Every structure is written in C-alpha cells, then in structure tokens.
Amino acid sequence: MTTITETPPAPLSARLRVPGAFVLGAVLLLGAAPLALSDFRLSLLAKYLCYAIVAVGVSLAWGRGGLMVLGQGVFFGLGGYAMAMHLKLADAAATGETLPDFMQLYGTGDALPWWWKPFANPGFALAMTVLLPMAVAALLGFFVFQRRVKGAYFAILSQALAAALSVWLVGQQATTGGTNGLTDIQGFFGYSLDDPVNQRMVYFVIAAVLLLLMAAARQLFVSRYGELLVAVRDSEERVRFLGYNPANVKLVAYVVAAGMAGLAGALFVPAVGIISPALIGIVPSIGFVIGAAVGGRASLVGAVLGAIAVAWAQSTLSDAFPGAWTYLQGLLFVLAVGFLPGGLASLGIVLRRRRTRTPATGETA
C-alpha cells in the first residue's frame, strides 16, 4: 500500500510560465502600447480590448462549458446602455438640462421616463452595467438549462434574444435614441472625453480590467469548478448521476460570461463614445464569437488574441477593401471553425501531433 498523495511538483520553468506570461501581457498592455501608440491608435486598441473582454467570457462559457453563447451582444448592449444612460444624464446635468439631448429632440414630454431616473446615480449605474446582464442571463439560463433544452435550441434562443432586444431598442426611439442609439457622450465621471489625456486614462482602465478578468478566468479554468464544467460539457448526463445539477454548473459560466460582456459594453461607451442597436443584434453577437473561434475557444489567451486580431483586421481592412474583407471574414470563419476547431491556439498541437503521431495531452489554457 504505497500511495502517492502528493502531485509531484512541476519544474520551475513550467510553474513560472503562466505568471510570466501574465506579467509579459501586463507590460505590453500597460507599458509598451501606451508608449508606442499614438492617441488615435491607442483609442482603437481600447475598443479591441473591449471585444477581448467579451472573449474572456466566451472562452469560459463556450470553450470550457460548450455553451453556444450567440447572444453576447445582448449583455454587451445592456452594460453599454446602462453606462451610456448615466453618462448622458451627467452630460445633461452639466449643462443645466434635465433631459438628455436626444429626448429634447424627439421629446414625448418634459419628464424623464421612470426607468431612466435611477441611472442618474453613478453607483447604481455602475452596478447595473454588470448586474443587469447577469440577471437577464440568469433568467434565460435558468429556464433553458433547468429544462434541459438542447444546445442548438439554446443557440437559437440566444440569437432571438439579441434580435428582439435590438428591434425593441430601435422601436423605442423617444427613450432609447432608436437606431442612432446613445451618442455624443462628452464626459466620463467628470472627466472630459475630448481630452486625449482622459482618453488614455480610459485605455488604462480597460486594459487593467481585461488583465484582471483574465486572471479571474484563469483561476476558474484550473479550479475544481473548471474541471467540472468540462465534465458537464462532455457528458452532462453522467455528471447528473454523480449528484450534481448540471444546470447550475452551466448557469454559473453563462452568468459570469454575461457579466463580463456587460462590463465590456460599459467600458466601450467611454472608449468609443456610442452604444447603438447595431452593436447588439445577431450580426455583432456572432462577431463576438468569431475572435474566440479563430484564436481558440478553449484557450484563454487564444480567445483574447483572436478577438483583438479579428477586430483589428476588421477596422483596418474593412475601410480599405470593404468587399474583400467580408469574403475574408467568411473564409476565416469557415477555415477556423471547420478545419481547426481548436483555433490558432491549437495549431502547434495539431502540427506536433501530425509529426509525432502521439496524442497530445497538454493543457491548452
């Protein structure tokens, strides 16, 4: 009876790999990028990093949990609108008005709608950017997972939710700004967004949030919960017979991913200055998944880099060659998902396997 109960310690280099990569990422994002990039490019990077924050959640829910989250635009939008509503009210208050500019324009009356009023409070609005998406995700997720609605059905319901929210927002022009959305945001908690210094500050906030969420997600990945989530993804029914309720396991991943998307949406508003239905519907919702799919859905770093790369390619190439970019985007999707389901992050493993013909057992996180 000689049982080894201690896992033999990994070599030092392996143990330092993850913290090392994290420090490297922090240096690049917080040090090198702000030094090297112009104000304009840095603000673009801030936007891409917002998409990367969504991708962190996508990697958790889809990559690890197998949940086809095709409605992340909803949560991104809820977070974005919650933030934008507060900033619009703050802008209006700064100029002595009681109503945001667009309401005066389309105005149905002089009174602020009741559901706008609490957003004047910054604490409430900030909390809502995360809690509102999480609540909606919890509600939908509870009903869908509890009744074991199939994965394909869940994907379609997520899309339908994204479509419904964007249609609803367009329909309520007087209170949501309709198709235009909430635009022309001037200040961010008292700081003018016209000032490049403040724009840089927004970038730092976004980069810090991304790093923080990646660290949190990494902890979830390697935790017992992370192992359980993979187990649920691969054989939900078996997990049930072990005494767990898989619905709760999935719900946690889905709600956390929704909260991350909401936070991303909230940070997107000061970075870009707009939130609109066009950022929420079916097309952008699938867009949020593209990056993760291309980079590698199950790999945190892969998903984040994929999201940044796809966003960069989109804004760089779509201006220069709008038609060609759409073909490329479609092709990228077909190739990445169809022929390299682990994304670019798995390219090394696939090649190595092809060379040595041995099953790869390495963790891809």
Partner 1 sequence: MSGEGLTVRDLRVTFDGFTAVDGVDLDIRPGDLRFLIGPNGAGKTTLVDAVTGLVKATGSVRFGEQDLLGKPVHKIARLGIGRTFQTATVFEELTVVQNLDIAAGAGRGVRTMLRRRKDVPEPVARALETIGLSRLRDRPAGVLAHGQKQWLEIGMLLVQDVRLLLLDEPVAGMSHDEREATGELLRRVSEDRTVVVIEHDMDFMRAYARSVSVLHAGKVLSEGSVAEVQADAKVQEVYLGRACEPEPALGPAPTPAPAAASVAEEA
Partner 2 sequence: MTVILNQSFTGISIGAVLLLIALGLTLTFGQMGVINMAHGEFIMTGAYTTYVLQKSISGAGVSLLVALPVAFLVAGAMGALLEWLLIRRLYTRPLDTLLVTWGVSLMLQQLARDVFGAPNVQTHAPDLLTGNISMGGGITFASSRLFILGLALLSVLVLTIVLRLTPLGRRIRAVVQNRDLAEVSGIATGRVDRVTFFIGSGLAGVAGVALTLVGPIGPTMGTNYIVDAFLVVVVGGIGQLKGSVITAFALGVLQSVLEYSTTVSVAKVIVLVAIVAFLQWRPQGLYTLRTRSLA
Interface with partner 2, residue 134, by CB under 8 A: no
We find the least distance from the C-beta atom of residue 18 to partner 2, in angstroms, to be 28
Which residues of the shown chain bind partner 1 in the complex (CB under 8 A)? 1, 3-7, 219-220, 222-225, 227-228, 230-231, 234-235, 237-246, 359, 361
Using CA atoms, how far apart are residues 93 and 95, in angstroms rounded to an integer? 5
We find the least distance from the C-beta atom of residue 311 to partner 2, in angstroms, to be 16
Interface with partner 2, residue 202, by CB under 8 A: no
- Would you say 64 and 302 are in contact if contact means Cβ atoms under 8 Å apart? no
Amino acid at 146: Q
Q: At 192, which helix (H) or strand (E)?
A: strand 191-192
Question: Which residues lie across from 192 on neighbouring strands?
Answer: 187
Return the residue matching tokens 């840089």. Answer: 200
Q: Which does 190 bind (CB under 5 to 8 A by kind): partner 2, partner 1, none?
A: none
- Would you say 51 and 105 are in contact if contact means Cβ atoms under 8 Å apart? no
Of 176 and 346, nearer to partner 1 (C-beta) is: 346
Question: Which residues lie across from 187 on neighbouring strands?
Answer: 192
Among 10, 28, 222, 283, binds partner 2 (CB under 8 A): 283
Of 123 and 359, nearer to partner 1 (C-beta) is: 359
Give the binding range for partner 2 (CB under 8 A) out of 9-17, 103-111, 327-335, 342-350.
327-335
Of 71 and 273, nearer to partner 2 (C-beta) is: 71
Interface with partner 2, residue 329, by CB under 8 A: yes
Interface with partner 2, residue 93, by CB under 8 A: no
State the Cα torsion 246-248-249-255 to the nearest 10°: 140
Interface with partner 2, residue 69, by CB under 8 A: no
Using CA atoms, how far apart are residues 267 and 28, in angstroms rounded to an integer? 20
Give the binding range for partner 2 (CB under 8 A) out of 15-23, 82-90, 154-162, 205-213.
154-162
Using CA atoms, how far apart are residues 53 and 266, in angstroms rounded to an integer? 11
Comparing C-alpha atoms, which of 320, 293, 319, 321 is closest to residue 307? 293
DSSP per-residue letters across 124-188: HHHHHHHHHHHHHHHHHHHHHHHTT--HHHHHHHHHHHHHHHHHHHHH-HHHH-GGG-B----EE
Among 40, 106, 143, 321, binds partner 2 (CB under 8 A): 143
- Count of residues of this chain found to bind partner 2 when the rule CB under 8 A is applied: 46
Among 12, 152, 197, 242, binds partner 2 (CB under 8 A): 152
Comparing C-alpha atoms, which of 100, 66, 113, 305 is closest to residue 183? 100
Tokens of 235: 């054989």
Of 150 and 355, nearer to partner 2 (C-beta) is: 150
We find the least distance from the C-beta atom of residue 219 to partner 1, in angstroms, to be 7
Q: Which does 223 bind (CB under 5 to 8 A by kind): partner 1, partner 2, none?
A: partner 1
Give, in order, the Cα–Cα distances in Å from 210 to each of 115, 126, 169, 197.
30, 17, 28, 20
Question: Which residues lie across from 154 on neighbouring strands?
Answer: none
Of 192 and 248, nearer to partner 1 (C-beta) is: 248
Among 84, 170, 213, 280, binds partner 2 (CB under 8 A): 170
Of 125 and 251, nearer to partner 2 (C-beta) is: 251
242 three-class SS: coil
- Would you say 161 and 74 are in contact if contact means Cβ atoms under 8 Å apart? yes
Measured in whole angstroms, how far is the alpha carbon of residue 2 from the centre of its chain?
Answer: 48
Interface with partner 2, residue 310, by CB under 8 A: no
Of 19 and 151, nearer to partner 2 (C-beta) is: 151
Interface with partner 2, residue 282, by CB under 8 A: yes
Provide the binding-site residues for partner 2, judged by CB under 8 A: 66, 68, 70, 140, 143-144, 147-153, 155-157, 159-161, 163-165, 167-168, 170-172, 237, 282-283, 286, 289-290, 293, 323, 326-327, 329-334, 337-338, 341
